Amino acid sequence: MTIYKDDRVYYISGAYSDSLSNPLKGGDYSCKGTVRYISSHGIMVDWDNGKRNTYNSSDLEHVNDLKPADPNKLFKRLGFV
């Protein structure tokens, strides 16, 4: 998985436990974050809870904010419903 600046991500590895600074997806502190900086030292993430931390790409997962399409809208637009 390739991660770029401004991507929305979750922390998923659990390598650094679950805390405000390391909000593990599905954990007590779970939240989304935005990639702010990428360097040879790691990927800096600004978490929606106001915290910031640096990770390896294997610690992160892209957020899928896409909602599935509603097939009824297509049927209505085509005049089937």
Q: Residue ranges per domain, the chain?
A: 8-77
User: Contact 3/38 with Cβ under 8 angstroms?
Assistant: yes
Q: What are phi and psi of 50, to 5 degrees?
A: 95, -5
By mean pLDDT, which of 2-11, 24-33, 61-70 is the weakest?
61-70
User: Contact 9/35 with Cβ under 8 angstroms?
Assistant: yes
Structure confidence by residue, pLDDT tens digits, 45-71: 999 999 999 999 999 999 986 666 666
